[in-house]
């Protein structure tokens, strides 16, 4: 096992990939017309490229439609609006509109025939917030490592994930996954157009965080995404639990019938009789009602875009088989769970985990209130993010040809002394540590960012994160459950929370058996 201290990696920074030659791809012909980008420091960016028609009016709650063509050369010098969403300190979006189906490209290519690997970013935000225009997702510095970087918008909240019986009848297939269909439409655009930017349409990596990582996992089972990507990266995301039928612990994606019932309640709260009337409601009113209607909007097991239980689909080898790179952060639960007590934690688990509750309680020590507070955070981390990631990696390793690489991001700071918070890894991957941090990164943090971004871009290039001068990252197998720790000294070590994940594995297995 090779150990490399993070400060020692600083000497390698100049040796790990990087585009230093002058970029040459300043204009491109794409679906709809010709676009012109902006060159700066050897990188050309193309912002606000439409990949579908504006989903407004009669196109609200419709699959994305073809891009209307334009004449002349479109100046791609500013981001398109983010999709309509409630304001949030976590997702600061410069502008918002229902007309939001735009993507962005950063390319270091010197010529169209460079055929560089492509990385397509899908943002997080609980499927209710986020935008490709957020400063943390600027693709410049990651693209400098020799990849074409694409980021995309997708519809959110009630605009992107409302199911309804009328919509299901209208489509003849299902309803509620318009945001996922947007992602697939953007990937089709990439397949058809990215060669014009010096990218290789046969080497596309999709990567995302939180809801974006969950989206990546869903795309691995969607028949509509088949052939649109060749690698998949998920940071804190995986949708491998059984469908939600009520309020089961650890359940997120609902069945179509549950989602349709939610949609019916939402239309009642809107005060409209049918979908036709709902399509005329102003976007701001629809968003305001969504904030008070107590209806959750999330991707749906619709039997079409998501054909069924992903765990079972993987077991049956019905998935888009690619190498995967997936992982979680050590203190993700801290963002969502502030405190608990011994009594409250025990009650929560017994109410939510059924006959497996005592097994789960035994796996999370909670004899004191301090222990219970830690247990509550860790259980949230594991049930929401880590178990799905681990299950996904095991299934890929057992059922697929592509290898599975798993990480555990454990970088501690004075602000997060107990471990890495949810989304803390994003700046390290994008090499954007200055965004929102104040004071700048330490030398060790800069080196950690170089390490992680090198792994990510190596994976995009070859399907294997390993490369010269980097600590060896083994793929996860049934016989080798080591994961790559990212912290002061990055190395492969045993899965840190294995007993807890095994307890949850029993819970989800019991849930799945009960739904047969």
pLDDT in tens, 266-324: 999 999 999 999 999 999 999 999 988 888 999 999 999 999 999 999 999 999 999 99
Q: Kindly tell me if the per-residue pLDDT of 257 is higher than 70.
A: yes
Which are the contacts of 160, defined by CB distance < 8 A and separation ≥ 6?
Answer: 83, 127, 154, 178, 179, 182, 297
d(CA 394, CA 505): 12
Beta pairing, strands 116-122 & 199-209 = parallel
Confidence of residue 246 (pLDDT cuts 50, 70, 90): confident
Decide if domain 19-339+398-440 falls under CATH 3.40.50.1820.
yes
Running DSSP on this structure, what letter comes out for residue 356? G
Report pLDDT for 21.
47
Residues serving a catalytic function are 210, 332, 422
Could you tell me the two tokens for 190? 């990439």
Report pLDDT for 1.
39
Give 249 or 66, the one with higher predicted confidence.
Answer: 66
The residue ranges of every structural domain in the chain are 19-339+398-440
Could you tell me the two tokens for 486? 């990212």
Beta pairing, strands 96-97 & 82-83 = parallel
d(CA 496, CA 301): 31
Tell me the pLDDT tens digit for each residue of 431-446.
999 744 556 889 999 9
Beta partners for 205?
119, 231
Q: Is the pTM of this model over 0.85?
A: yes
Confidence of residue 19 (pLDDT cuts 50, 70, 90): very low
Report pLDDT for 11.
37
Burial of 41 (0-12, 13-18, 19+ CB in 10 A): exposed
Report pLDDT for 229.
98
Q: Looking at residues 164-189, what average pLDDT do you find?
A: 97
Report pLDDT for 14.
37
Q: Looking at residues 173-178, what average pLDDT do you find?
A: 96
Report pLDDT for 80.
96
Confidence of residue 25 (pLDDT cuts 50, 70, 90): confident
Q: Which residue's structure tokens are 């095994």?
A: 502
């Amino acid at each position: 096992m090779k150990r490399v201290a993070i400060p020692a990696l600083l000497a390698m920074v100049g040796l790990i990939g990087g585009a230093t030659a002058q970029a040459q791809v300043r204009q491109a012909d794409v679906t709809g017309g010709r676009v012109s980008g902006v060159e700066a420091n050897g990188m050309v960016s193309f912002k606000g490229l439409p990949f579908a028609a504006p989903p407004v009016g009669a196109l609200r709650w419709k699959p994305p439609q073809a891009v209307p063509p334009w004449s002349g050369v479109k100046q791609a010098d500013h981001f398109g609006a983010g999709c309509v969403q409630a304001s949030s300190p976590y997702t600061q979006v410069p502008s918002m509109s229902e007309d939001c189906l735009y993507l962005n490209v950063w390319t270091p290519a010197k010529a169209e025939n460079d055929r560089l690997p492509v990385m397509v970013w899908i943002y997080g935000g609980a499927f209710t917030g986020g935008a490709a225009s957020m400063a943390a997702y600027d693709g410049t510095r990651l693209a400098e490592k020799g990849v074409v970087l694409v980021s995309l918008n997708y519809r959110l909240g009630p605009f992107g994930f409302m199911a309804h019986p009328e919509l299901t009848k209208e489509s003849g297939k299902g309803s509620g996954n318009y945001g996922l269909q947007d992602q697939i439409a953007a990937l089709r655009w990439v397949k058809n157009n990215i060669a014009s930017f010096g990218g290789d349409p046969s080497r596309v990596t999709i990567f995302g965080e939180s809801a974006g990582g969950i989206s990546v996992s869903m795309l691995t089972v969607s028949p509509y995404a088949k052939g649109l990507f060749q690698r998949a990266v998920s940071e804190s995301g995986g949708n491998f639990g059984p469908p939600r039928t009520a309020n089961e612990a650890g359940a997120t994606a609902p069945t179509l019938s549950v989602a349709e019932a939610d949609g019916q309640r939402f239309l009642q709260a809107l005060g409209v009789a049918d979908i036709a009337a709902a399509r005329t409601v102003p976007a701001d009113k629809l968003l305001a009602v969504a904030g008070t209607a107590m209806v959750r909007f999330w991707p749906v097991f619709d039997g079409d875009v998501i054909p069924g239980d992903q765990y079972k689909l993987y077991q049956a080898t019905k998935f888009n088989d690619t190498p995967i790179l997936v992982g979680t952060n050590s203190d993700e639960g801290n963002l969502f769970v502030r405190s608990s007590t011994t009594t409250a934690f025990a009650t929560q688990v017994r109410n939510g985990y059924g006959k497996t509750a005592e097994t789960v309680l035994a796996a999370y020590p909670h004899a004191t209130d301090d222990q219970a507070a830690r247990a509550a955070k860790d259980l949230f981390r594991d049930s929401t993010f880590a178990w799905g990631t681990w299950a996904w990696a095991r299934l890929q390793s057992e059922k697929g040809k592509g290898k599975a690489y798993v990480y555990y991001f454990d970088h501690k700071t004075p602000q997060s002394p107990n471990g890495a918070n949810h989304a803390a890894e994003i700046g390290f991957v994008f090499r954007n540590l200055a965004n929102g941090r104040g004071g700048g990164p330490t030398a060790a943090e800069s080196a950690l960012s170089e390490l992680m971004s090198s792994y990510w871009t190596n994976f995009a290039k070859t399907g294997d994160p390993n490369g010269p001068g980097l600590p060896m990252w083994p793929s996860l197998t049934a016989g080798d459950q080591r994961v790559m720790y990212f912290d002061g000294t990055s190395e492969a070590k045993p899965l840190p929370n294995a007993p807890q994940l095994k307890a949850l594995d029993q819970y989800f297995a019991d849930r799945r058996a009960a739904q047969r």
